[in-house]
Structure 1
Amino acid sequence: MRALVLEAPGGGLRLEEVPVPEPRDGEVLVKVTSCGVCHTDLHVIKGETAFPTPAVLGHEISGVVERFGSGVEGIEPGRRVVASFIMPCGSCRYCVRGRDDVCERFFSLNRLRGVLYDGESRLRRADGSPLAMYSMGGLAEYAVVPATDVFPLPEGLPAEESAILGCAVFTAYGAVRHGADLRAGESVAVVAMGGVGSNIVHIASAFGASRVIAVDVVGEKLEGARELGATETVNASESDPVERVREITGGEGVDVSFEALGRPETFAQALGMIRDGGRMVAVGIAPGESTAAVPITQLVRRSQRIVGSYGARTRADFPDILGLAGRGFINPQRTVTRKYQLEEAARAYEDLDRGEIRGRAVVVV
């Protein structure tokens, strides 16, 4: 099969022929239809996030079940499926408590070592040398996914665009549903209109937010946010975004702000937008060990909260996400604005790095 390989951080992506992986007990082999283009992959490509190399990246996929290992039930070959980037082991202390968004084995084995839960990667070169897997390694024609993370795609949803349900939508849903615990009628500001930020706007609107203020520095991205449900937009290249959000809200600030870029300056901006008693949800992954200053006295006196949100809870939330998408409350077609072929994937990440992609792009395999 063809797979896009990152040889080393900063070394670029190269298309290679590698053996088709084999699923083991409790695993599913998926013929990949498409894979989302995410900033988290870009951090690895640029060496801003540590990950073993050589590796195959790509962590939100749609596809078709090819075959599966022993112990897998309820999934038949030929079924259209999607998978999320958090692949729960199902047995660690967090998974058994329903908190598979912080699955111990996912973080210690997959995110640190690039392997699955028996300590080995399923991907290898023709000479037998291993290739690390970032989640399932979706930038390839086939991917092995734990059965805990394989979900049937509802009829009527498009196969290619639905790949983004596994990270861009999944991450946004977790931030809105659990990080913010957003209630109908509350006001929201979202900083950074990338794939995740755009979907936070979309989902917050679907959850009944009374006001959704989108913040970015690119006018085209703000226009796209309006199409997804933003009631107001703020161009941070033209005015101070904190002052502008407070002006829109009559000086009070919003009930909830979301930061979806992972930069110290946008973190501070999002925190400055919330009212007394408000919540700020940090969603964006930062390069390296970036830090942001927090005004301690303001946080304490004004009873504000800062919450980190990495993703949704795979086994409990993904069926709900798919249900919302199937009923039209979440529309992945409205977020996907570009498609690339597998041989063009390196260019997709270059375009992403230049800020040229509005919403989300997908690589069609």
Structure 2
Amino acid sequence: MKTLAAVLREAGRPTPYATSQPLEIEELEVGPVGPGEVLVKISHAGICHSDLSVINGTRLRGLPLVMGHEASGVIVETGSNVRRLNEGDHVVFSFVPPCGSCPPCIAGRPALCRPGNEANGAGTLLSGSRRFTDAGGQALNHHSGVSAFSQYVVAAEESLIVVDAGLPLQEAALFGCAVITGVGAVFNSAQARPGSSLAVFGLGGVGLSAIMGARAAGANPVIAVDIVESKLQLAKTLGATHIVNPTETDAVEAIRDITGGGADTVVESVGNEKVLAQAYAATGRGGTTVAVGLPHPDRQFTVPAISLVADERTVRGSYMGSAVPKRDVPKYIAMYQAGQLPVDKLLTGTLGLDAINTGMDRLADGSAVRQMVDLSLPLSGQ
């Protein structure tokens, strides 16, 4: 089967990406579907900072790569040995395909699945296969077992969660990364309690989802920190009780003043080690600093060693919101449908596949939160 897809062949091209065009739209061959795999027609795919990190070279992945990791779609074909899924099912992707049998999976931590993360690092599906080839016959890598910026993809059954067919697929895609990561960081990683104070540094799709999660968890106060005023104002509509702009005031001191010494939980979703240090400094005694953002692998983060003991402080990472996708995606969708998680407010634009480099520019300059690539839109000039 032929598909049009956005392919990254060289990382680190200069901005603006609308000019340097790091993502090239190519016609590829996709398939065939192997055992335990399905063919999915992609409906919508979100543009996320994790995509941007691969493009700018911060997050290293094997190239050439069919990009995209947050998506929704409809199953059009199932392979042998597929047990849970059927043609016509509406699905959301998990960007870590859990094998279900390794020690982390058995312990209820599928985000840390060993085979799943090894496959992601190698650019393959969970089976070790690659299902994309270009016009020259070269096999292309899969992005996190998803490769959402393609009209059609083959995916492992373990990468997919069936969702309510009545849920618009544009909103459904958000649950595959932004919502499960941000809300999961609050519910699963931080285990925020009603009445506890919570601050979030960085208000992209993940950070704003953490704000929504904090409100749903009953946290108070909920403090949003960012340098973009429009994002701060959006955070207020999503549940933030206080907003802080670090270009106008010392964010650490502001959080300490609001909370009377430091927040019980501080979530860092920027992916910058200096911001993570600020988040730690803004965390109160006995509190937890949750790192969600992905900094460059060469960067280091240091803390006053004595504070870990004397203040009983905790620093913990949160990958994919420490979530169990098959449990948490339906749960968060139900919360959205009940009005507890207004995730549709994260959407800041829809674009076609051939405008994807411009979309990356908007994400990089902070003018967009979550743009959706609508794979049904025709390319310009067609």
Q: Secondary structure at the match of 2:40?
A: strand
TM-score (norm 2): 0.91
Identify the residue that residue 309 of structure 1 maps to in structure 2: 318
Q: Distance in 1 between matches of 2:311 and 2:103?
A: 35
Q: Distance in 2 between matches of 1:179 and 1:118?
A: 29
Equivalent residue letter for 2:346 = T
Identify the residue that residue 150 of structure 2 maps to in structure 1: 140
2:228–2:245: 8 Å Cα contact kept in structure 1? Answer: yes
Deviations 1:172-199 (A, max 9, x none): 1321122101111111000000110000
Identify the residue that residue 270 of structure 1 maps to in structure 2: 279
Equivalent residue letter for 2:59 = T
Q: Distance in 2 between matches of 1:99 and 1:245?
A: 31
CA RMSD of aligned residues (A): 1.4
Identify the residue that residue 307 of structure 2 maps to in structure 1: 298
Q: Distance in 2 between matches of 1:129 and 1:64?
A: 27
Mapping for residues 14-25 of structure 1, pairs under 5 Å: 14-25=24-35
Shift of 1:326: 3.2
Task: Please tell me whether residue 348 in structure 1 is matched to residue 359 in structure 2.
Answer: yes
Shift of 1:323: 2.6
Identify the residue that residue 224 of structure 1 maps to in structure 2: 234
Shift of 1:155: 4.4
Identify the residue that residue 88 of structure 1 maps to in structure 2: 98
Q: Which moved more, 1:9-18 or 1:228-237?
A: 9-18
When residues 21 and 10 of structure 1 are mapped into structure 2, their CA distance, relative to the original with a 3 A threshold, is farther
Q: Which moved more, 1:91-100 or 1:348-357?
A: 91-100
Deviations 1:131-181 (A, max 9, x none): 111121110001222212322222442211321110011111321122101
When residues 221 and 298 of structure 1 are mapped into structure 2, their CA distance, relative to the original with a 3 A threshold, is same
Deviations 1:83-140 (A, max 9, x none): 1212212232222332111010121121x21001222211111332111111211100
Identify the residue that residue 186 of structure 2 maps to in structure 1: 176
Equivalent residue letter for 1:226 = K
Mapping for residues 199-238 of structure 1, pairs under 5 Å: 199-238=209-248
Q: Secondary structure at the match of 1:160?
A: helix
Task: Please tell me whether residue 244 in structure 1 is matched to residue 246 in structure 2.
Answer: no
Equivalent residue letter for 2:12 = G
Q: Which runs of 5+ in 1 are unaligned?
A: none
Q: Secondary structure at the match of 1:49?
A: coil
Q: Secondary structure at the match of 1:63?
A: strand
Q: Which runs of 5+ in 2 are unaligned?
A: 14-21, 376-382
Q: Secondary structure at the match of 1:338?
A: strand
Q: Secondary structure at the match of 1:18?
A: strand
Identify the residue that residue 53 of structure 2 maps to in structure 1: 43
TM-score (norm 1): 0.95
When residues 184 and 148 of structure 1 are mapped into structure 2, their CA distance, relative to the original with a 3 A threshold, is same
2:97–2:126: 8 Å Cα contact kept in structure 1? Answer: no
Q: Which moved more, 1:40-49 or 1:17-26?
A: 17-26
